[in-house]
Structure 1
Amino acid sequence: MSNDITLVLGATGNTGRRVTARLRLRDTPVRATSRSSRIPFDWFHPAGWDQVLRGVTTAYVVPVPVPGPVHDFVARTEAAGVRRLVLLSGHGADDWGDSAFGLDMRSAEDAVRGSALERTILRASNFAQNFDGRPFRAPLAAGEPALPAGAVPGPFIDLEDVADVAAAVLSEPGQHAGRVHELTGPRGPPQAEAVEPISRASGQPIVHRRISPAEYTATLVQEGWGEDEARHLTEMFVLFERGTAAWTSDAVATVLRCAPRTFEGFVLRATAAEAWRC
């Protein structure tokens, strides 16, 4: 067992908590941080970063949802003696063009690439688990999700695969240096058609209703989302409808030596957990 500390940012989040658990099972010394952890980490309070980075050799970075702070953080990691960074980003970020979506992730990628550290970028496609979380779970449970989504396929990736890959990369220094792993599931259903297997498995009638991006933003704001957050989520759908992120990759199988989990497998697990029960 190594005494090197692996830092996990956002350790209470979707990927962070899963990555932390996997590293602990591997007997990897982990510093799991969030705003409420024993050693807290806050993107907007850099005065506390030095304590978080003390003794750390490897860091798993989930960027803050605004451009900029990752640049300062990466500079601080270099000064603190961190040797490796593993960054979570978005699938196909090179092809997002002038989209307003993902400016935070693209800024974070620039920061990591501009450093002298060993680095690996994990670009994950849309999470399958978004369907049993905010903001999709409640409309699905009500039987009428309204989204600005059409017929473009989505290679949804299971969060368990993202965490498995991240833990493997974090545990294998040198093997993934300079690599960009595009993490997708198998070719999945279009976002609008993803409700069909959920409806069949759960036994609940669910009908997708397509609405415009403007209508979707307005609906989110009415539900209590902030204006910026609502627009950001809407821009994600607009980007997906371009089809630039619809392609699949074999990165999960290459890293893990097994096929990625299917969207149907996620649906079965979520249904067993009564994710869409009213």
Structure 2
Amino acid sequence: MTTQRVLVLGGTGRTGARIVRRLAERAVPTRVASRQGEYPFVWEDRATWDAALKGASSAYLCYSPDLAFPGVAELIAEFTQRARELGVNRLVLLSGRGEEGAQASERAVQTTAAEWTIVRSSWFAQNFSEHFLLGPVLRGRLVLPAGDVVEPFIDLEDLAELATAALIEDRHANTVYEVTGPRLLSMHDVAAEISAATGRSIDYAPSTAEEFMADLARDGIPRDDTQALAELFEEILDGRNATVTSDLESALGRPCRDFADYARRSATSNVWQTGFQDQR
């Protein structure tokens, strides 16, 4: 690709902001699309699509809260077709590992885009510091319907590095990456790692879906969102993802970041200071 302008949907979010930063470091012209900003973008508002897409050569696609939610696959298919019509030939889609509902969106991208990369990810380590599990960490009690299931948590710094490369390098085209962190951890292990990094006592309390929803509601998360998350977690937290892959390490050409490294960095940033909860 000789002339590049990369569109990053959700460019101010957890994955998007990290990708935008890396593109800037490489001096790649980048268009940041989000709900607020120079290029407003809302998935459900088709009137916002063209301004974001026109003139872009590649695009990073992510859907929040989750690609597997009902109706999202149809939306992704329509957007992918419009991107192709406007000359956006390379798409990089963030997908979920072990989510059958997300695979319909993957197929829409694979069928329509001239070049595509699917980044099928395990759980983000940063969910505990930048998203819905921050509140439980601040309260010192992880309440999740996860039992003793183990998960290979991925560091978003690694995921963003791969996604950035896929947007601007030819070698990642038409590839499905199933990416994980380097080791399996239970929620008990996660609580222990965060406790060690912060010097605080963080416990894990296996819960029902209703208990999980009630705990998230304490942070002002709408019930519809908490219910959807609870249903999704009950679906995928059954051991189906309890394996580590080498895709990310192979793509990056180096070892992946470990959860313990993430926990130490987050603790240093003071995001897990108990006083922060009172400011939310």
Is 1:216 the counterpart of 2:212? The answer is yes
Give the SS at the match of 2:34. Answer: coil
Alpha-carbon distance between aligned partners in 2 of 1:267 and 1:112, rounded to the nearest angstrom: 34
Identity percentage of aligned residues: 37
Q: In the alignment, what sits opposite 2:43?
A: 43
Paired amino acid for 2:75: P
Q: In the alignment, what sits opposite 2:222?
A: 226
2:90 to 57, 74, 84: 84
Q: In the alignment, what sits opposite 1:25?
A: 25
Distance 1:227-1:110 versus aligned 2 partners, 3 A rule = farther
Q: In the alignment, what sits opposite 1:148?
A: 145
Contact kept, 8 Å, 1:122 with 1:180, in 2: the verdict is yes
Q: CA deviation at 1:235?
A: 2.5
Give the SS at the match of 1:182. Answer: strand
Q: CA deviation at 1:253?
A: 1.3
Is 1:73 the counterpart of 2:79? The answer is yes
Gaps of 5+ in 1: 97-102
Task: State the Cα deviation string for residues 166-193 of structure 1 (Å, max 9, x = none).
Answer: 11111212x1222100110012311233
Contact kept, 8 Å, 1:153 with 1:187, in 2: the verdict is no
Give the SS at the match of 1:56. Answer: coil
Alpha-carbon distance between aligned partners in 2 of 1:201 and 1:10, rounded to the nearest angstrom: 30
Q: In the alignment, what sits opposite 1:100?
A: none
Task: State the Cα deviation string for residues 89-110 of structure 1 (Å, max 9, x = none).
Answer: 01233xx4xxxxxx3x334213
Q: In the alignment, what sits opposite 1:9?
A: 9
Paired amino acid for 1:70: I
Alpha-carbon distance between aligned partners in 2 of 1:208 and 1:56, rounded to the nearest angstrom: 45
Distance 1:142-1:211 versus aligned 2 partners, 3 A rule = same
Contact kept, 8 Å, 2:135 with 2:216, in 1: the verdict is no
Q: CA deviation at 1:39?
A: 2.0
Is 1:127 the counterpart of 2:130? The answer is no
- Structure 1: 4+ residue segments shifted above 6 A: none
Alpha-carbon distance between aligned partners in 1 of 2:220 and 2:135, rounded to the nearest angstrom: 14
Is 1:263 the counterpart of 2:259? The answer is yes
Kindly report which structure 2 residues correspond to 1:174-253, keeping only aligned pairs within 5 A, or say none.
175-221=171-217, 223-253=219-249
Task: State the Cα deviation string for residues 151-173 of structure 1 (Å, max 9, x = none).
Answer: 22110000000100011111212
Paired amino acid for 2:40: P
Alpha-carbon distance between aligned partners in 2 of 1:223 and 1:141, rounded to the nearest angstrom: 11
Q: In the alignment, what sits opposite 1:157?
A: 154
Distance 1:125-1:232 versus aligned 2 partners, 3 A rule = same
Contact kept, 8 Å, 1:112 with 1:119, in 2: the verdict is yes
Alpha-carbon distance between aligned partners in 2 of 1:11 and 1:213, rounded to the nearest angstrom: 31
Is 1:109 the counterpart of 2:106? The answer is yes
Q: CA deviation at 1:222?
A: 5.3
Deviates more, 1:260-269 or 1:116-125: 116-125
Q: TM-score, normalised by structure 2?
A: 0.89
Contact kept, 8 Å, 1:149 with 1:192, in 2: the verdict is no
Gaps of 5+ in 2: 275-280
Q: CA deviation at 1:223?
A: 4.4
Q: CA deviation at 1:214?
A: 2.4
Alpha-carbon distance between aligned partners in 2 of 1:208 and 1:184, rounded to the nearest angstrom: 22
Deviates more, 1:209-218 or 1:83-92: 209-218
Contact kept, 8 Å, 1:85 with 1:112, in 2: the verdict is yes
Q: TM-score, normalised by structure 1?
A: 0.90
Alpha-carbon distance between aligned partners in 1 of 2:204 and 2:36, rounded to the nearest angstrom: 38
Alpha-carbon distance between aligned partners in 2 of 1:263 and 1:245, rounded to the nearest angstrom: 17
Alpha-carbon distance between aligned partners in 1 of 2:85 and 2:236, rounded to the nearest angstrom: 38
Task: State the Cα deviation string for residues 238-277 of structure 1 (Å, max 9, x = none).
Answer: 2343111121111111111001100000011011112221
